[in-house]
Chains A and B, each alone.
Chain A
Amino acid sequence: MALATETLRPARVREGSPWTGLWAVVAKDMADHLTSTRMRILELLIVLTAVGTVFAATENLRDTVGQDRFLFLRLFTTGQEPLPAFIGFLSFLVPLLAIGLAFDAINGEFNRRTMSRVLAQPIYRDALLLGKFLAGLFTLSLVLTAIWLLIIGMGILRLGVPPGGEEVGRLLFFLLATIFYGGIWLGVALLCSTVFRQTATAALTALAVWLFFIIFWGMLANLAARTLAPVQLGTPQEIIAQVETSQALARLSPNTLYVEATIGLLNPSTRSFGLVLPTQLQGALLGAPLPLDQSLILIWPQLTALIAITILLFALSYVIFQRQEIRA
């Protein structure tokens, strides 16, 4: 019986761990990323944006805010005309950076005809794909953490106060949400680079998906909500149903998830994202900040969705990549 099983399923027997050589791939790819001109340009762009917006924000904060418990959170959320706040920039610079990191991860190897050479090494495909994905994610984390520290350092220098414990906690979760928001676009780009053989096609497709979600999805969600939950009699129930449908659809976009997570974390007085009925606000102290754990519970679905979508996108790329034929 044992012999029969062996002969029936010879392909399924693997030797050693599928993750052998994973860290070699991660190290090599990270080195490529961090030295590539493309990444330098994007990083420079983000650093300049960070310095500019935070400088403007501190100018504004020093003028207007005397006593604020969450001064450092305002660094990220305060804008000064004509510059928007830093988080506004982040929500479209991070996808750009992530797509830039991964749109040629797989098909680039094919185009350079290095894929078969790499796989000729004792490295499984699993390790190669995960290594490329992790390299992108780590590069993203490295860049974002560096900018995060830069902003906090600038804040300490220019505001003259250290951040409080709760502020640091909120900012850490904000960093986590930002990294996984980047992770989603990294996953999208990786998927495109796996599916399309041309790097340009992959880049354009990823950018198209990004533009679709950032520009058109909101309008589409609105239109779809009108069709799915039409307001026929104008009763409050119908209006509420439509608004809730529209919101549920909008939350399919990673952009919405990220913006909501950011607002919940960086604006501690946020109590709810949905429609709040006047009866729910009776007796409520508006403007009172939520404790960190309550804010986390509020944005927990958004945060876990960002992480889960990242993982699922990787899983999808993995399945497609594993089923591809690779020839020398």
Chain B
Amino acid sequence: MRRFVLLTMVTALVLPTLLLPAAAHAQGTQQATGSPALEISTPFPAKVIGIGEELTLDLNLRGNGSSKIVNLQMQDVPANWNVSFRGNGRMVNSVFVLPNEAAEVDLRIEPPADVQSGTYNFTVLADDGNGSRASLPLQMTVQDRLPPKLAIESERPTLRGEPGNALRFDVSLRNEGDTDMTVDLNAQAPGGFTVTFQSGGQDVTNLPISGGATERVTVVAEPRDDVQAGSYPFSITARSDAAEANIPLTAELVGRANLVFTTPDARLSGQATLGSDNNFKLTVRNDGTAPVRDISLNASAPTGWTTTFDPPTITELGPGQQLEVNANVRPADQAVAGDYVLNFSARPAEGTTRTMDFRVTAVTSTWWGIVGVVLIAVAIGVVGMAVMRFGRR
């Protein structure tokens, strides 16, 4: 009887232990056809990050049967790594899982700053406290990042031009690193040059370049009009927080002659007496950077007018030189008084001919006016003689 009691007690004790796993197994097998009692998943279980980056993984928890509270844990976390579960932005330790509904939680992994590159394995454990468990192995590869680096190059680093005309250098800037950067552009320009940078037709002083991308920049070097001919090297520096690059460019200026034809006081009008020589002073000046040679002076005047220049030609006029020329205008004797337009021109052997419209007021000599006065005097004289001759008492 005692043996039976013992047996029943043992059976009563053992049976549940024997039965329970069987029941659990039965439950598990029952769910194997649909879904396990607790499941944890993430879309990308193996991720690659760079040194210094953090990682956030989306975890999905799904259970069936009854709703349950699931505790979350991490296994195999290396030292100094910070790992936390977050729900709605807050750190959480457990998740309430409704049956057949996915619960979402974020896993945030923060490697230490001095992390070594390599592959790290973690496991996420989910446990509802009632025997349902699930685990999710995760793999994280920490990679060395590319160092920030800038490259700058130009296909045509030397350009040739005239003073006053802008030289446009095409320069390409390449960000050889992975990280985006903002690049400041600077130029060490020689005196007399104004250097600006253009991107997309707009003047810029800095521009953002994303990692691995190339930007084209136009360097506009504008020499002043009076810059002497010669070769002008200068360099362009592109600088960001972490990287710097520069490129030497050369502007070669050729000389240009710029003839200016005017009068000393810039007045383009004058008075000329008919039938006599009238002198007008003209100036020929070279405002350019190269000498002008063999300037011949000409005038187109109305018929019967003579115009001579002293000197008639100028052999050479250096840069910045000025020469005064006398123009002798003799209007035709039978010309009618009034305003006329004379065209003076200075024609250099090479280059543009400069012309000047000169307005001449042709005036009659006042000498003939005296004749009229004499006529009146004669008339008065006649009266006087008549008074002398015919005056009576």
User: In the complex the two chains form, is A290's CB within 8 Å of B379's CB?
Assistant: no
B191 in the interface (beta carbon within 8 A): no
* A134-160 interface bits toward B, Cβ cutoff 8 Å, 1 = contact, 0 = none: 000000000000000000000000000
The reply to whether A304 and B373 form a contact with Cβ atoms under 8 Å apart is yes
Q: Does A36 contact B (CB under 8 A)?
A: no
Closest CB in chain B relative to A200 CB, distance in Å: 28
Chain A nearest Cβ from B357, distance in angstroms? 10
**Majority DSSP secondary structure for residues of B touching A:** mixed
- The answer to whether B379 touches A312 (Cβ under 8 A) is yes
Which of these, B332, B335, B340, B369, contacts A285 with CB under 8 Å? B340
Q: When the two chains form their complex, are residues B379 and A297 in contact, meaning their CB atoms are under 8 A apart?
A: no
Q: Is A322 a contact partner of B390 (Cβ separation < 8 A)?
A: yes
CB-defined contacts of A293 to chain B, threshold 8 Å: 363, 366
- Does A112 have its Cβ within 8 Å of any Cβ on chain B? no
* Cβ contact within 8 Å between A318 and B336: no
Would you call A14 and B393 a contact (CB within 8 A)?
yes
Does residue B334 face the partner (Cβ distance < 8 Å to A)?
yes
Q: Cβ of B337 and Cβ of A322 under 8 Å apart?
A: no
Shortest Cβ distance from B390 into A: residue? A322
Q: What B residues does A301 contact at CB under 8 A? A: 372
Task: Assess the B375–A283 pair: CB atoms within 8 A.
Answer: no
Q: For B334, B337, B342, B368, which residue has the most chain A Cβ atoms within 10 angstroms? A: B337
Q: Which residue of A lies closest to B301 (CB)?
A: A283
Which chain B residues lie closer than 8 Å to A300 at the CB level? 368-369, 372
Residues of chain A from 1 to 39 with CB closer than 8 A to chain B in the complex: 11, 14, 18
Provide the bound-state CA to CA distance between A294 and B372, in Å.
15
Q: How large is the interface on B (under 10, 10 to 19, 20 to 34, 35 or more residues)?
A: 35 or more
Indicate if A276 sits at the interface (CB-CB under 8 A).
yes
From A14, A281, A312, B382 is in contact (CB under 8 Å) with: A312
* Most chain A beta carbons < 10 A, residue from B301, B332, B387: B387
Residues of the B chain whose Cβ atoms lie less than 8 Å from the Cβ of A297: 337, 363-364, 366, 368-369
Instruction: Find chain B residues with CB under 8 A from A290 CB.
Output: 337-338
Main secondary structure of the interface of A (DSSP, over half): helix
Are A285 and B339 neighbours in the complex by a CB distance under 8 Å?
yes
The answer to whether B392 touches A322 (Cβ under 8 A) is: yes
Q: Size range of the interface on A?
A: 35 or more
Give B155 Cβ to nearest chain A Cβ, in Å. 56
Q: How far is the CA of A282 from the CA of B342 in the complex (A)?
A: 10
Looking across the interface, which residue of chain A has its beta carbon closest to that of B332? A280
- Answer whether residue B6 sits at the interface, using C-beta atoms and an 8 A cutoff: no
Q: Are B376 and A288 in contact (CB under 8 A)?
A: no
Across the interface, which residues of A come within 8 angstroms of B382, CB to CB? 311-312, 315
Q: How far is the CB of B49 from chain A (nearest CB, A)?
A: 82
B239 within 8 A of A: no
Contact in complex: A314, B342 (CB < 8 Å): no
Q: Are B390 and A288 in contact (CB under 8 A)?
A: no
A43 interface residue (CB < 8 Å to B) = no
Known contacts A283-B341, A285-B359; is-contact A125 B392 (Cβ 8 Å): yes
- In the complex the two chains form, is B372's CB within 8 Å of A126's CB? no
Instruction: Judge if A214 is at the interface, Cβ distance under 8 Å.
Output: no
Within residues 318 to 339 of chain B, which ones have a CB less than 8 A from any CB in chain A?
A: 332, 334-339
Q: Which of A18, A285, A298 contacts B387 (CB 8 A)?
A: A18
Does A279 sit at the interface, judged by CB under 8 A?
A: yes
CB of B15 within 8 Å of the partner chain: no
Q: Which A residue sits closest to B370, measured CB to CB?
A: A300
**A291–B361 touching, CB < 8 Å:** yes
Interchain CA distance A323-B389 in the complex, whole Å: 11
Check if A197 is an interface residue, CB within 8 A of chain B: no
Determine whether A308 belongs to the interface, using a CB cutoff of 8 Å to chain B: yes
Contacts A11-B393, A308-B379, A312-B379 hold; do A294 and B387 have CB atoms under 8 A apart?
no
CB of B383 within 8 A of CB of A315, answer yes
With A283-B342, A285-B359 as contacts: A305 and B375 at CB distance below 8 Å: yes
Give the residue of B366, B379, B383 whose beta carbon is less than 8 angstroms from that of A307.
B379
In this complex, the member of B300, B373, B383 whose beta carbon has the largest number of chain A beta carbons within 10 angstroms is B383
Interface residues of A (CB under 8 A from B): 11, 14, 18, 124-126, 271-272, 276, 279-285, 288, 290-291, 293-294, 296-298, 300-301, 303-305, 307-308, 311-312, 314-315, 318-319, 322-323
Q: List 15 A-B contacts (CB under 8 A).
A: A126-B391, A276-B336, A280-B332, A283-B341, A285-B359, A290-B338, A291-B361, A297-B337, A301-B372, A307-B379, A315-B382, A315-B383, A318-B386, A322-B390, A323-B390
13 additional A-B residue pairs with CB within 8 Å, beyond A282-B302, A297-B364: A14-B393, A18-B387, A124-B393, A279-B303, A280-B336, A282-B303, A294-B338, A296-B369, A304-B376, A307-B379, A312-B379, A318-B383, A322-B392
